Structure 1
Amino acid sequence: MDTTSIKNLFKLKSIPVETPQEEIISKTEIDLNGESAEESRKRTYHESGYRDSSRTSGNHSTLSICLDAVYSKFQNEEKEMVEKQKNLKESYFNEQKNRETEIKALTVSLETKEELLKNKNSEIEKHQNHIETLKAEIIDLPRNPEKYNVKATKGASAKFWIGAILLFPISLYLITFYISTSYSAFFKSFDAKSTVIQSVLDAQAFSKAWNAGPVEGAFVTLIPFVFLGLGFLIHMFGENKNWINYVKLGLLFVVTFIFDAILAYEIESKLYELNKTFNSPDFDLKIAFTRNQFWGIIFSGFIVYIIWGLVFDFVMKEHREKDKIKNEQEIKQKNVLFLLEKINFIKKEIEGIIENISTTKESIIKTRGRIEELQNIIDGVIIPTKDYKLYASEYVQGWITFIGEKIAVSKTEKQTMIDSCIDTYNTNLDAVGANSDNQNLVYLSSL
């Protein structure tokens, strides 16, 4: 390069860039020379590197400081490029708008879920109050059935148990009486030593009948149940009150009375034969009707049988009343269980809602954090690091060009200086992130 060319080069580099008017003149000259703005910028960095290297004799330690200044200068230049910054930040603006829309949607969703949670808790409280009411009604129902529109007699449970307790010994009496009387009437042989009571009520009638044979045993064992069955029919015919059932009921009483009369007649005839003399007439109904033990046997069975039938009828009616209350209690208890299951189901729904609310709140917090990050990016300066690497390389090329052209040292020493400068350059690129995969860096503070 001759002296004239070098002078022209330094004359070009000495053009000030701080004055706007001179900057306009420079741009006009560039346009006249047919040079693009990017080529002009590259040339400017190259010339600055050459000039700064000439001032420091190509010292690589000074190069590190100069590259920091170059980076600061590059940042200021990028900051002043309003349109470029706007284009670089456009994606962040769009993301911020999307995030704000997302926040609105998340907020609406959160409010809906919180309202749903409130409704679910109110529903549980309502069901729990209903359960407490049902439990109180279950306890109060036997005492006040009419209060709950149950057509049952108050205190039916107590009456039922009293009747059932009375029915048991009466049943045992009838079984004992008819076993003894039927055995005495049909199978027993009387002797002169037997009293009336011993003749009618034989303590060993059951065992004696079975010892006499299976037919005798089965007869005296089963005959009491005939009378119990007749007593059961009294209850059945009494449930439907009409004249046919009343006729049937009257016939039952007649049949039972006749059967008891037959037993009494047979026993009395045997007792009469024991005490009969040659002058005594034959035993017949006329004689039987005049004997007290005849009527005593009849009424000892027949009256008790009627009492048993009436008590049984009363117990069954009370049981029916008791069943009405019990059925109503069971219905209410089933309602309690249904409500408990419903509460458990709602609680599981609430767990899911709470989890969704927590997730939504976390999303809102993260989204708001991202919006703040985006705002900081928008407020900051976006540095295109790949562009910086391009211009920094121009600067270092200018620096090394001076070393190669103007430093009068041995070739080896010159190469060592160049290698040190390249290392310093790479260190600077690593420091500012220009060697990373990121296209841009964001500086949150204005420069």
Structure 2
Amino acid sequence: MDTISIKNLFKLKSVPIETPKQEAPKDTDSKVETESPEESRKRTYHEAGYRDSSRTNGNHSTLSICLDAVYSKFQNEEKEMVEKQQKLKESYINEQKNRETEIKALTVSQETKEEQLKNKNKEVENHQNTIEALKAEILDLPRNPEKHNVKATKGASTKFWIGAFLLIPISLYLITFYISTSYSAFFKSFDAKSTVIQSVLDAQAFSKAWNAGAIEGAFVTLIPFVFLGLGFLIHMFSENKTTANYIKLGLLFVVTFVFDSILAYEIESKLYELNKTFNSPDFKIKIAFTKIQFWGIIFAGFIVYIIWGLVFDFVMKEHKEKDKIKNEQEIRQKNVLFLLEKINVLKKEIEEILGNIGTTKELIIKTRGRIEELQNIIDGVIIPTKDYKLYASEYVQGWITFIGEKIAVSKTEKQTMIESCIETYNINLETVGANSDNQNLVYLSSL
């Protein structure tokens, strides 16, 4: 037995077990004939264990090597069972097909997201180009309004400031004139030394009126603003060119002319009474119309008032032209802000799409890795460890049977040998992954 070569340990051919000759029962042939392939396979492993144990005197160290050979034999047998392998691999094949379908769906999803990303980036680019164009228009509008379809006069801002500058001295003139003339017409007492100019334009009219009383002071202070208000109405009525507004405008001129005539009449009346003789007739309107100073007072106020109204109307129109440009600039600036908000929203959407694309790519890589794993499983041999445990146990049972029947040692020593064999058997199961905890798992081996 010591001269058996190591090659004989891996030689797993089925040979008859040398046992004492016994008379076989009459129905043995019928049992063999009706024995199932599984029972036949179990019996083969059992016999192989018995035979190999007889060759090594049941040595448990040799059992470990023999179990490795048994596992290799079991592997080769499983590999040859094409139908069984196909059945075991069926779930993996189905999973692989599902994974491939998933890859296609993920690829379509990725392409869709990339197209969305392209469109979003294009939209952002278009908005940015529009913003640049709007900013350029905002700067160019005051110089070339007609270029941007804005009906406003070029250079309106310059004309506006010229008109506004002229309004200031004209307004001061009107205020001074009407304060003096209203004081002279209604409150001043003339003397023989007073000249026409001194009678109309009194340098101390404002202070004298307030010294005379609050009513007098308030009257001469506020009356210029009545004429300025009438001038403002000229502008308002001239904006809408209608017959009714033209009538109103004519009435304003008439009222102003009449009021200036009253002031001139009062002043001329006082001067006439001052120089009146016993032969002079009473002062009447006909006499006033013949006095040069009467017309001088009227035109010194009325004509300047008309000039003020026209300049004010011109300034307001120029301001309106200026406002048109300003309004157009504000509209474009609001459009810029609106587009910037849209760009911010689009950038957030782009970040979200990029995140989704990254996640999709990771899933595709992970799924392709799983497909490769499944392909390795399909290309390899699936070893059902539960089945291996069944046949390995048959082999060990045959091994232990020989020890129990043929090894002539004490009962205690025989029990020790059996326990060592069982321990070796359990170690082998752990090594190949066929332990009791994982007996329902599938052990994969690529050959």
TM-score by length of 1: 0.86
Partner of 2:321, secondary structure, is helix
1:107 counterpart letter in structure 2: T
Q: Which residue in the other structure is 1:14 paired with?
A: 15
In structure 2, distance between residues paired with 1:425 and 1:395: 10
Q: Which residue in the other structure is 2:259 paired with?
A: 259
1:348-373 residue CA offsets vs partner (Å, 9 max, x unmatched): 22112111111111111111111111
Q: Cα–Cα, structure 1 residues 272 and 31, in superposed 2: closer, same or farther, change >3 Å?
A: farther
Q: Cα–Cα, structure 1 residues 55 and 30, in superposed 2: closer, same or farther, change >3 Å?
A: farther
Q: Which residue in the other structure is 1:441 paired with?
A: 443
Is the 8 Å Cα contact of residues 237 and 245 (structure 1) preserved in structure 2? Answer: yes
Q: Cα–Cα, structure 1 residues 73 and 154, in superposed 2: closer, same or farther, change >3 Å?
A: same
Q: Report the alpha carbon displacement of residue 142 of structure 1 after superposing the two structures with TM.
A: 2.5
Is the 8 Å Cα contact of residues 209 and 220 (structure 1) preserved in structure 2? Answer: yes
In structure 2, distance between residues paired with 1:13 and 1:375: 35
- Establish whether residue 92 from structure 1 lines up as the match of residue 92 from structure 2: yes
Q: Which residue in the other structure is 1:115 paired with?
A: 115
Partner of 2:319, secondary structure, is helix
Which deviates the most, 236-245 or 221-230?
236-245
Which deviates the most, 132-141 or 72-81?
132-141
Q: Report the alpha carbon displacement of residue 386 of structure 1 after superposing the two structures with TM.
A: 0.8
In structure 1, distance between residues paired with 2:444 and 2:31: 32
2:302 counterpart letter in structure 1: F
Which deviates the most, 183-192 or 98-107?
183-192
In structure 1, distance between residues paired with 2:150 and 2:139: 14
Query: Which ranges of structure 1 fall in alignment gaps of 5 or more residues?
Result: 1-11, 17-28
1:393 counterpart letter in structure 2: S
Q: Cα–Cα, structure 1 residues 382 and 242, in superposed 2: closer, same or farther, change >3 Å?
A: closer
2:258 counterpart letter in structure 1: I
In structure 1, distance between residues paired with 2:445 and 2:381: 5
2:442 counterpart letter in structure 1: N
2:153 counterpart letter in structure 1: T
Q: Report the alpha carbon displacement of residue 193 of structure 1 after superposing the two structures with TM.
A: 5.7
Q: How many residues align?
A: 422
Partner of 1:316, secondary structure, is helix
In structure 1, distance between residues paired with 2:70 and 2:245: 122
Alignment of 1:45-194 (within 5 A): 45-191=45-191
Q: Report the alpha carbon displacement of residue 168 of structure 1 after superposing the two structures with TM.
A: 2.9
Partner of 1:383, secondary structure, is strand
Query: Which ranges of structure 2 fall in alignment gaps of 5 or more residues?
Result: 1-12, 18-28
2:112 counterpart letter in structure 1: T
Is the 8 Å Cα contact of residues 30 and 40 (structure 1) preserved in structure 2? Answer: no
Q: Report the alpha carbon displacement of residue 53 of structure 1 after superposing the two structures with TM.
A: 1.4
Aligned-pair identity (%): 84
Is the 8 Å Cα contact of residues 157 and 319 (structure 1) preserved in structure 2? Answer: yes
Is the 8 Å Cα contact of residues 30 and 36 (structure 1) preserved in structure 2? Answer: no
Q: Cα–Cα, structure 1 residues 169 and 31, in superposed 2: closer, same or farther, change >3 Å?
A: farther
In structure 1, distance between residues paired with 2:247 and 2:386: 118
Q: Cα–Cα, structure 1 residues 421 and 293, in superposed 2: closer, same or farther, change >3 Å?
A: same
Q: Cα–Cα, structure 1 residues 344 and 30, in superposed 2: closer, same or farther, change >3 Å?
A: farther
1:91 counterpart letter in structure 2: S
Root mean square deviation of aligned Cα: 2.6
Which deviates the most, 153-162 or 263-272?
263-272
Q: Report the alpha carbon displacement of residue 178 of structure 1 after superposing the two structures with TM.
A: 1.3
1:171-195 residue CA offsets vs partner (Å, 9 max, x unmatched): 2322232122212221223455655
2:146 counterpart letter in structure 1: E
In structure 1, distance between residues paired with 2:30 and 2:267: 153
Q: Cα–Cα, structure 1 residues 388 and 297, in superposed 2: closer, same or farther, change >3 Å?
A: same
Partner of 1:142, secondary structure, is coil
Q: Report the alpha carbon displacement of residue 383 of structure 1 after superposing the two structures with TM.
A: 0.5
Q: Report the alpha carbon displacement of residue 208 of structure 1 after superposing the two structures with TM.
A: 3.6
In structure 2, distance between residues paired with 1:220 and 1:30: 147
TM-score by length of 2: 0.86
Partner of 2:308, secondary structure, is helix
Q: Report the alpha carbon displacement of residue 283 of structure 1 after superposing the two structures with TM.
A: 4.5
1:201-256 residue CA offsets vs partner (Å, 9 max, x unmatched): 34443344344333323322321122112212322333344555444433332322
Q: Which residue in the other structure is 2:318 paired with?
A: 318
